[in-house]
Amino acid sequence: NAGVTQTPKFQVLKTGQSMTLQCAQDMNHEYMSWYRQDPGMGLRLIHYSVGAGITDQGEVPNGYNVSRSTTEDFPLRLLSAAPSQTSVYFCASRTRLSGNTIYFGEGSWLTVV
Amino acid sequence: SQKIEQNSEALNIQEGKTATLTCNYTNYSPAYLQWYRQDPGRGPVFLLLIRENEKEKRKERLKVTFDTTLKQSLFHITASQPADSATYLCALDPRGNSNSGYALNFGKGTSLLVTP
């Protein structure tokens, strides 16, 4: 199993550009989520999904869209990138069968200039 | 509002000593609490989960305590090694439900440095 795979690892965007961070998991987990991590702020939840076709907002959803067309994939879209979205993004998944443990991807470093 | 507080200052200890990290929370009624380890440039990795009806949990050199009256968890690493140097995160389910399933709230983490 590859676990949770995120791409790209690093990305530089210009203000106003759009892009999609990809996330895939091969563990058949029903729950997936996106966090961002900023210095001094810790991990903050952006969006989450409890199953294919179902998504909801977390703590800091503005400027981001998500969709969950399959169990495996949970892409995060930045609609019009802003410097405030410069951050490290982590995708995560979990299943009730794993005892509430969250499995994280390796992160995507995004810089908006 | 719900808050999770961890020591913001880095903890520096000598190899072989016991490291103790603290997690305090307010406005939560957690069914369980989790600890994660994060190395620089990597995603967090799960270490231990302790449930509200458990006072203590151990895994090899790791020990976690959970006091729901004090609203506090302590995370201990005994016989610490330089390889234990990392940031340690405490996490709680904001809904206080073991089956809410969607995500956890994380503390900001405490950086641990173990020197030889």
* Dihedral in degrees, nearest 10, Cα atoms A29, B45, B27, A88: -90
Tell whether the model's pLDDT for residue B31 goes beyond 90: no
What residues in A contact B93, CB-CB < 8 Å?
A: 100
CB contact under 8 A, A103 and B34: no
Residue B115 has φ and ψ, to the nearest 5°, of -105, 145
Percent of chain B at pLDDT exceeding 70: 92
Pairing relationship of beta strands A64-66 and A76-78 according to DSSP bridges: antiparallel
pLDDT band at B116 (very low <50, low <70, confident <90, very high): very high
Interacting residues of B22 by C-beta distance below 8 A, sequence separation 6+: B6, B7, B72, B73, B74, B75, B110
From the list B32, B101, B108, which residue is nearest A50 (CB)?
Answer: B101
From the list A40, A48, A104, which residue is nearest B43 (CB)?
Answer: A104
CA distance B93 to A100: 9
What residues in A contact B89, CB-CB < 8 Å?
A: 42-43
Tell whether the model's pLDDT for residue B98 goes beyond 60: no
Pairing relationship of beta strands B110-115 and B86-92 according to DSSP bridges: antiparallel
CB atoms closer than 10 angstroms to residue B27: 10
Per-residue confidence of chain A (113 residues) as pLDDT tens digits? 679 999 999 999 999 999 999 999 999 999 999 999 998 888 999 999 989 999 999 889 999 999 999 999 999 999 999 999 999 999 999 987 766 788 999 999 999 99
Whether B30 contacts chain A with CB within 8 A: no
CB contact under 8 A, A41 and B108: yes
Tell whether the model's pLDDT for residue B96 goes beyond 70: no
From the list B43, B89, B91, which residue is nearest A105 (CB)?
Answer: B43
Q: Average pLDDT in the B48-65 region? A: 94
The predicted pLDDT at position B97 comes to 57
Which residue from B88, B53, B47 is spatially nearest to B68, judged by alpha carbons? B53
Structure token digits, residue B109: 């983490």
Pairing relationship of beta strands A108-112 and A10-13 according to DSSP bridges: parallel
The predicted pLDDT at position B32 comes to 87
H-run or E-run covering A63: none
User: How does DSSP classify residue A85?
Assistant: G
pLDDT band at B101 (very low <50, low <70, confident <90, very high): low
